[in-house]
Structure 1
Amino acid sequence: MRLQASCKMTVNVAADCPTVAMLRPRSGDAQWMVSERYELTPWVRTTEYVDSYGNLCQRLVIPQGEMRIDVEMVMEAEEHIAVEPSAGVTPVEQLPPDALQFLLQSRYCPSDKMEDRAREIVGDLPPGYAQVEAIRAWIHTHMEYRYGVSDATTDALDSLDHGAGVCRDFSHIGIGLTRSLRIPARLVVGYLYQLDPMDMHAWFEAFVGGRWYTFDATQDQPRGGRIVVAYGRDAADVAFLSNYGPMEMGEMVVTVDRLDSPQDAA
């Protein structure tokens, strides 16, 4: 399916502010960049690098005052995500080297403290995809999606205590529980077609059966129409703006529209 997505935002800084943005998706196995526009007003010199997770990062200094950032892209994306209930766990000794880091506890996903809860949730299910899907379904059923419960310091255990949160909190819980079962899991941020309310979105992936699979605890069924912008251990790795000085966020508007018809995709 062909999607057009955009993110338009304004920021205000009291003094020149070094910033790293993470707003450009890249082509990959499940998506292809058709075209893009990335505009800064006022324009400033910007350089780009690839971080250790393969994400495209834009480095700039935002000048004192207001800046508007407009990002727009047209992407070919998968209409349906892969689902494989029979996929088994991949033994640690057989994991790709770049998946090993996603077994470790991280800032927002203290998986070393979450195994007991994970074992309660998965019960006697076979190791692998079935366990991760049980975790996703448990979060969807038992957690309330609610704004204002979490902040920048809230980790997965805090969210479990609150019993509520938003997409990043749901994903942190899923990642922490999954890693506690010695299954690699990583956070994904990007766009989801027909998300309601529309915003930037977060979900998680788990490595089972020799590949990464998508799990989204905010949704009641598997859904495609996703554009991946960044991967990381948790939210600390995938902030769309990392500012190294005071910054006030202004308006932010996110859109995702389908450009083709379902018949065209078929």
Structure 2
Amino acid sequence: MRLSIDVHLDYGFAEPADVLLQIEAAAMPDQWIETESLVIRSDHPIRAVPGEAGIGQRCWARGEGRLVADYHATVAIDRPSLELAALPATMVRALPAETVRYLLPSRYVESDRFEHFVRGQFAGLRGGALAAALTDWVRENLTYSGAVSDGHGSALTTFAERRGVCRDYAHLLVALARAAEIPARCVGAYAPGVDPPDFHAVAELWLDGAWRLVDPTGMASCDDLARVAVGLDATEIAFMTIFGVATLQRQTVCVRRIDDVAGR
């Protein structure tokens, strides 16, 4: 699979502010960058820093009057689909050290508040079978709607209101998975077919010795997602973090399938 990605950001600033951008697709073993261009129009130097867990990179920029960024890339993906339910369970004490932080509650993922629900609702399930059941529950019990999502809701909020956007779906699945003793993290990604077209948030669950991509909204499959960033919750995968105040002038995200990958 190959994806064509085009992003245009245009923000206005009444007062100068630092901006942390995270919009470049990450180079990884199962996805690689064929072509890429990031142009940020600013009178100040741009500084790149590594992303969380060494995945992707962030760029520091300075918003002063106006900040315009254009990102264009062609990303090839070689990631076969998998049967989540068939993956075995891993005992918590056997998990790799780097996955342990993804078992713990975070700002928008109050996983400790879901332990009783998970034990009662999904009793008898473990490993991939449990992960698949959690994913199905989120997909079947939430309604996709931006009407109630203000960018500050948590997994508990989404669980109560039973609706939200992709970040809300991801937060809830990650919370349920952590409550079920499955390491889980949020993933910022590009995906074709997202409606409305935008930056997309999904989840990764640690199963059978590897991170497994899951889209609880059902809009994308694991074999056509291009990761941008990973993190504990939406705070760490935000495409733009503004240390001040900005006004959106224009923003477009276009992701298209080009063709299947014939070879690397």
Which string of whole-angstrom CA distances, capped at 9 and with x for unpartnered residues, describes residues 52-80 of structure 1? 422411012122x1221111111111364
Query: Secondary structure at the residue paired with 1:198?
Result: coil
1:192-244 CA-partner distances (Å, limit 9, x unpaired): 12223221111101101111111111107845211100000000111111111
Task: Report SS of the residue matched to 2:86.
Answer: coil
Cross-structure match for 1:123:
123
List aligned pairs for 1:45-56, cutoff 5 A.
45-54=45-54, 55-56=56-57
d(CA) in 1 for partners of 2:261, 2:211? 28
Distance 1:233 1:195 in 2: 23
RMSD in angstroms over aligned alpha carbons? Answer: 1.8
Partner SS, residue 85 of structure 1:
helix
Q: Offset at 1:14?
A: 1.0
Aligned twin of 1:170 = 169
8 Å Cα contact 1:140/1:220 also seen in 2: no
The alpha carbon displacement at 1:251 in A equals 1.4
Moved more, 66-75 or 218-227: 218-227
| Equivalent residues of 2:77, 2:261 under 8 A apart | no
Q: Go from structure 1 to structure 2 and tell me whether the alpha carbon gap of 1:263 and 1:239 turns closer, same or farther (over 3 Å shift).
A: closer
Cα separation, 2, equivalents of 1:263 and 1:107: 38
Look up the match of 1:217: 216
* 8 Å Cα contact 1:31/1:78 also seen in 2: yes
Q: CA 1:79/1:193 → structure 2, altered by over 3 Å: closer, same or farther?
A: farther
- Counterparts of 2:165 and 2:185 in 1: how far apart (Å)? 17
- TM-score using structure 1 length: 0.92
- How far apart, CA to CA, are the structure 2 residues paired with 1:75 and 1:84? 24
Give % identity.
Answer: 27
Answer yes or no: is the 8 Å Cα contact 1:121–1:135 preserved in 2: no
Distance of aligned partners of 1:76 and 1:263 in 2 relative to their CA distance in 1, 3 Å threshold = closer
In structure 2, the gaps of 5 or more residues are none
Structure 1 residues 136, 84: CA separation in 2 closer, same or farther (over 3 Å shift)?
closer
Q: Is the aligned partner of 1:11 residue 2:11? A: yes
Cα deviation digits, residues 9-30 of structure 1 (max 9, x gap): 1111112211111111221121
Q: Secondary structure at the match of 1:114?
A: helix
SS in 2 for 1:72: strand
Separation of aligned partners in 2, 1:159 and 1:149:
9
Matched, 1:152 2:151: yes
The alignment of Structure 1 onto Structure 2 pairs a total of residues equal to 262
Where structure 1 has 5 or more consecutive residues not aligned to the other structure, the ranges are none
| Distance of 2:246 and 2:81 partners within structure 1 | 37
Distance 1:69 1:81 in 2: 33
